Amino acid sequence: MSTPAIARRPAVAPERKQPARRPLRAVPAREARKARPKLSYALWTVGGVGVIFIAQLLMSVALSHGAYEVSSLRSQITQLGYQKESLSEELETLSSPQYVASAAQDMGMVINSTPAYLRLSDGAVLGQPGEAGAASSIPLGPTEYVGNSAADALPGAVTAPTDEGAPAEDASTPPVTFEDGLPSPKTH
């Protein structure tokens, strides 16, 4: 048998080429100036930071102004809500039947004692139409109606009549006694 041939390595490593080393030397001033950062770059950086700071400050002022405006509008909404409630209460008072009847009577309107009605289905007139006359004998409402205290303060308001004919505001109320239990109102 034969032994394989072993490749022999050389005992000494081949020489590699070493890069040529340059000797250290001082950098000339002209090349040092070119390698140094320029003043314009620093000025641009500082200017950019300043612009960002000013923009952030202006945005903060604008946002706080918007917050004050929102707060003002919310308080205005609240005030308008109060005004709406007040006007709706006044509208309810002015549209009450007692006030409307009193205002109509003050303007010279009278209740027609002989009303006539028109039936829309066939166009027939029901009743005998006639003039209302100078004064109405029909009262404005039942004699024992509940007074509208909100309308009493308005001009031309109807006040609830009492037995003596004086308005209910002037009548003194009798003291409440509890001898026979709790008092209860008269109901119909």
- Structural domain for 82, as ranges: 38-106
Q: How many domains does the chain have?
A: 1
What pTM does this model have? Answer: 0.39
Instruction: Return d(Cα 158, Cα 101) in angstroms, integer.
Output: 8
- Domain-embedded: residue 21: no
Residue 24 lies in a domain: no
Does a structural domain hold residue 67? yes
Q: What is the pLDDT of residues 31-72, one digit of tens each?
A: 766 666 778 888 999 999 999 999 999 999 999 999 999 999
- State pLDDT tens for residues 63-107: 999 999 999 999 999 999 999 999 999 898 888 888 888 788 788
152, part of any domain: no
| Domain presence at residue 7 | no
Determine which helix (DSSP H) or strand (DSSP E) holds 56, and give its type and residue range: helix 39-94
In a domain, 132, yes or no: no
186: left (phi over 0), alpha (psi -120 to 50) or beta: beta
* Residue 160 in domain: no
Q: What DSSP line would sit under 145-175, residue for residue?
A: PPP-HHHHTSTT----B-TTSSBTTTSPPPP
For 136-150, what is each residue's pLDDT tens digit? Answer: 555 555 555 566 666
Residue 100 is assigned to a structural domain of this protein: yes
